[in-house]
């Protein structure tokens, strides 16, 4: 007898882990599972991951979720939708074999290539065409770095692809990249939706060396027979190419136009708005990524998200056992809640991985500032949290120069902590809401799949289906306290630029 239960599965290929979530057709979460993989830092500015390790982890997590929750209940998997973090680059040979590790968004090795393009007349035209700021995160510069510094790998490369493209190719044999991830490469003209010739020329490649850009609703071929058998799925299971994690986190937060912004803080972070126009910033501080035709996700990313607090927890947390990071972070959050706003004048610049928006300085480094003899461990914990959120505010502040923002919807593991949500409301001086979904990227991928199936008539209607369960409002007088601290934070971020460069030369 055919099954009457049906589900949509979403696969999020994140920075440090893959998360698989199964939703019923009404959007209710049936089950979720997560599997982690490492990032390798052979040099301070290098961040790489093993693509085969990611693929094996994905298969392991997906198979476990299917075997434990989906197949026993005879639930039919209608579709699988993919998302991934942006800006990764993987060189493959003509047989599709990876030529080394994938280079991730956090990799800053291509600083010389960035400066070279910034000093050329092509800088403005490439930014205007692609909407991608000039920074080593961009695959445009990663490919140029390989051309200049790893000539053997560059000459043996048949294609430069994104990690999600690699996963989809492994599962189906197709080389596809969705519009949003393509526009995050710095190589796609977001106005013509064609690979930008001027950017291709700078990187030293042709468009045949990239995957084919396709709309986010595109079906990306049939699952190979071997994986159908291994996973217990059929050829009828639709595979949807999906979008980037950032775009889907915005959709999953219920933001689709209007005077609202999304704040996402996972390992990294971002402030984003969605609209039908590109936000033209003369200082090139924003990204404008294409989501669908004539629809753009605009905003700024930060390297200094939850990964910075996780670093602090690993170095200074009180571990009950070596694998107890989650509980250690919870303990530190409770400690921070006991300290007054502003951490008694202790400030933290969270630039351990350099920084993207708004300062776009890959040499930026972390700083504790204002330490006096009365500061204790609790103040440092609070200062780290506030420093991460000041950095988020600095992005929102410049975004408001171009877009009216009256309220915020926040998501991600870090942003959904009540203490952090309240600090965001106080710093921004705006109401903050949280959606009912714990997995915002997965929720966005579900909405995309459900729209493709006709459950929603369009993404606007899909976004409006998101239920907001909690709200935080700014507390009286606290915003003023934070603004006094933020003024110093902002000044330090700019004034220390030459010293960041000097200290990097010692590392």
The architecture CATH gives domain 6-236: 2-Layer Sandwich (3.30)
Q: Do domains 6-236 and 306-394+477-505 have the same CATH topology?
A: yes
Given this model, what pLDDT does residue 2 score? 57
Q: Which two structure tokens, joined as six digits, stand for 213?
A: 């850009």
Domain boundaries, the chain: 6-236, 254-303+403-472, 306-394+477-505
Return the bridge partners of 13, or none: 18, 84
Report the alpha-carbon angle 16-20-26, nearest 5: 140
Lookup result for tokens 């209607």: 461
Let me know if 416 is exposed, middle or buried by CB neighbors in 10 A (0-12, 13-18, 19+).
Answer: middle
Let me know if 272 is exposed, middle or buried by CB neighbors in 10 A (0-12, 13-18, 19+).
Answer: buried
Q: Which two structure tokens, joined as six digits, stand for 60?
A: 């392991």
Given this model, what pLDDT does residue 3 score? 62
Given this model, what pLDDT does residue 60 score? 97
Domain 306-394+477-505: give its CATH code: 3.30.420.40
- 403 Cβ neighbours under 8 A, 6+ residues apart: 259, 261, 273, 275, 279, 298
Return the bridge partners of 296, or none: 275, 290
Profile the chain (507 residues) by mean pLDDT over runs of 10 residues. 83 93 95 94 92 98 98 96 96 97 94 94 94 94 97 97 97 96 96 96 96 95 95 96 92 84 89 90 90 90 91 87 81 94 97 92 95 96 97 95 92 85 97 82 95 94 87 94 98 95 89
Given this model, what pLDDT does residue 321 score? 73
Given this model, what pLDDT does residue 413 score? 79
How far apart, in whole angstroms, are the C-alpha atoms of residue 477 and residue 242?
Answer: 43
CATH superfamily, with its number, for domain 254-303+403-472: ATPase, nucleotide binding domain (3.30.420.40)
How far apart, in whole angstroms, are the C-alpha atoms of residue 162 and residue 105?
Answer: 11
Q: Which two structure tokens, joined as six digits, stand for 9?
A: 């599965």
Given this model, what pLDDT does residue 293 score? 86
- 408 Cβ neighbours under 8 A, 6+ residues apart: 260, 261, 262, 263, 396, 424, 425, 428, 430, 431, 432, 433
């Amino acid at each position: 007898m055919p099954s009457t239960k049906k589900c949509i599965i979403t696969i999020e290929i994140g920075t440090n882990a893959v998360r698989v979530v199964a939703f019923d057709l009404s959007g209710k979460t049936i089950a979720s599972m997560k599997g982690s993989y490492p990032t390798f830092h052979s040099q301070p500015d290098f961040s790489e991951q093993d693509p085969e390790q990611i693929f094996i982890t994905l298969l392991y997590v997906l198979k476990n979720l299917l075997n434990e929750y989906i197949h026993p209940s005879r639930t039919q998997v209608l579709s699988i939708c993919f998302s991934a973090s942006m800006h990764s680059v993987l060189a493959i040979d003509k047989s599709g074999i990876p030529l080394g590790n994938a280079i991730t968004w956090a990799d800053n090795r291509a600083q010389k290539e960035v400066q070279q393009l910034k000093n050329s007349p092509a800088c403005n035209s490439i930014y205007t065409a692609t909407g991608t700021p000039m920074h080593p995160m961009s695959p445009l510069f990663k490919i140029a770095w390989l051309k200049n510094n790893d000539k053997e790998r560059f000459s043996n490369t048949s294609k430069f692809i994104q990690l999600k493209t690699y996963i989809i190719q492994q599962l189906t044999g197709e080389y596809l990249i969705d519009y949003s991830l393509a526009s995050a490469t710095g190589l796609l003209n977001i106005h013509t939706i064609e690979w930008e010739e001027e950017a291709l020329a700078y990187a030293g490649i042709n468009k045949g060396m990239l995957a084919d850009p396709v709309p986010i609703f595109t079906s990306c071929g049939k699952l190979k027979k071997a994986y159908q058998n291994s996973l217990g799925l059929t050829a009828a299971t639709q595979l949807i190419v999906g979008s980037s994690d950032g775009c889907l986190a915005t959709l999953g937060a219920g933001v689709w136009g209007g005077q609202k912004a999304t704040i996402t803080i996972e390992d990294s972070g971002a402030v984003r708005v969605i609209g039908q126009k590109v936000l033209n910033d003369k200082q090139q501080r924003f990204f404008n990524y294409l989501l669908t035709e004539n629809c753009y996700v605009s905003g700024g990313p930060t390297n200094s998200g939850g990964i910075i607090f996780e670093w602090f927890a690993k170095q200074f947390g009180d571990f009950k056992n070596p694998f107890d990071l989650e509980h250690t972070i919870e303990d530190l959050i409770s400690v921070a809640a006991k300290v007054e706003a502003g951490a008694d004048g202790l400030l933290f610049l969270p630039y351990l991985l350099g920084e993207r928006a708004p300062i776009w300085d890959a040499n930026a480094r972390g700083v504790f500032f204002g330490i006096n003899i009365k500061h204790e461990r609790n103040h440092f914990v609070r200062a780290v949290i506030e420093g991460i959120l000041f950095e988020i505010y600095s992005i929102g502040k410049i975004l408001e120069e171009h877009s009216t923002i009256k309220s915020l919807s926040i998501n991600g593991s870090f942003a959904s902590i009540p203490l952090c949500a309240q600090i965001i409301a106080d710093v921004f001086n705006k109401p903050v809401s949280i959606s009912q979904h714990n997995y915002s990227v997965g929720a966005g991928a579900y909405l995309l799949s459900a729209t493709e199936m006709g459950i929603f008539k369009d993404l606007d209607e899909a976004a409006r289906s998101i239920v907001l369960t909690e709200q935080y409002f700014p507390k009286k007088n606290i915003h003023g306290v934070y603004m006094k601290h933020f003024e110093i934070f902002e000044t330090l971020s700019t004034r220390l630029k030459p010293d960041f460069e000097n200290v990097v030369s010692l590392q």
